[in-house]
Chain A
């Protein structure tokens, strides 16, 4: 790892430590030891989440040794976006070709997924031809009912929707990935149609692909947690921010970027809901319901292996942590001096 990268990570750790210590800058009003210990725990969690540069370097080296030419998943998503950017067209046929091409590139590392994606695209294509000239979303139900993997549970749900028994509700969760798969393909299609909103549309495409991957690989909740900051980084990349800078961004900077986009605001909202176990918000959407069942089944909030990732999510949920402000003529200055000398002394 290069010195400058290490320096940047240490710098981030420094900012986080300052934020924690700044909370009580008046030595006359010392907080209880229990609170300080809690903050030490928070610092610990924050530091352990700062492993992005090492992750990037590890992947690079593993790829060299194994001669795997594929970039990381996030980079594959970006690659897909670039293909889509080139191929945005008002022609439906062209759009399908580009979606297919992008999916091929995104999922070429997993033939099974590729097969399912292409199969779904064919079905979607068939149905849009049948329902020519009509908004696709209206035909979600038709597509589900005629879909080759016809799902009895979903039909059962539709027929007894008013009753909403507990058992049925549990079973319904199982059908969510299936429904979302079609929904995501529709949103990909819709975003391609929005020629005048290419930028916004392509971010939706990223989210669509990400959701698709999550649902299809049946990834546990930790992947969802990992994905939220990564998706905000991909928004940053779309804004032309360089890779190195994206990797080093503080959560405060990430949230500032996210806030400029509708989809980014949603990601911050989801982060908040996950951290605060806000079932009401999480389960507002179908994807959320699936997410909620995932989080519950994986014992998410209690499992310590999730701590570093939760910490990043926590910072996003808090809408980023502002870099510490240095106050002059204050006892706190001395602490900053001490911190700087400790951090850089070795």
Chain B
């Protein structure tokens, strides 16, 4: 896939650009050179990684808290964020767009699977 398409897809998907500003950046893509687009891609990756790190860290901590507060809660009733968090930490430095998408999908799937 050419870099322009990759950046477009990333912008549409990512959480590190405000939804309002996504329109703006998408409308500008055609004006940028390949070098600039590569730089944009790495910036998006950097901040998306920060975001995923923050989401997983916070969710993981709060999950621990809830388990301590309500110890009778079984692990099976809670999404397995700990595993996701550990997986993320092992690939964090070289994480790709696809891997970020995969983690987010797993979070969504975990939530869907714990319907009481």
Contacts and interface: CB of A to CB of B under 8 A. Distances in A.
9 contacts: A21-B69, A36-B73, A47-B55, A47-B58, A62-B43, A72-B20, A73-B18, A223-B19, A338-B65
Contact of A34 (B21, B51, B116): B116
A43 B55 CA distance: 11
A130 interface: no
Contact of A44 (B24, B44, B73, B107): B107
Contact of A48 (B15, B17, B24): B15
Interface string B13-42: 001111111011101100010001001100
B78 A9 contact: no
Contact of A62 (B25, B50, B70, B77): B25
A226 B18 contact: yes
Interface residues of B, number: 45
Contact of A346 (B20, B43, B57, B111): B57
Contacts of B47: 54, 57-58, 61
B61 A40 contact: no
Contact of B61 (A6, A30, A37, A343): A343
Contacts of B116: 32-34, 37-38
Given A36-B70, A47-B59, A62-B43, A74 B64 contact: no
A308 interface: yes
Interface in A20-45: 21, 30, 32-34, 36-38, 40-41, 43-44
A313 B44 CA distance: 25
Interface string A45-80: 001101100110111011001101010111000000
B70 A44 contact: no
Interface of A: 1, 6, 9-10, 13, 17, 21, 30, 32-34, 36-38, 40-41, 43-44, 47-48, 50-51, 54-55, 57-59, 61-62, 65-66, 68, 70, 72-74, 109-110, 217, 219, 222-223, 225-227, 230, 304, 308-309, 335, 338-339, 342-343, 346
Contacts of B72: 30
Given A6-B54, A40-B78, A44-B59, A55 B16 contact: yes
A1 B66 CA distance: 28
Given A74-B20, A223-B19, A230-B20, 9 more contacts: A6-B54, A55-B16, A57-B47, A66-B28, A66-B32, A72-B18, A222-B19, A226-B19, A338-B69
Contact of A66 (B27, B36, B65): B36
Interface string B48-82: 00110011011101111110111011000111000
B108 interface: yes
Q: Which of A55, A58, A225 has the most CB of B within 10 A?
A: A58
Nearest to B44: A58
A54 B51 contact: yes
B55 A335 contact: no
Given A13-B58, A342-B65, A304 B108 contact: yes
B54 to A, nearest CB: 7
A48 B79 CA distance: 15
Nearest to B27: A110
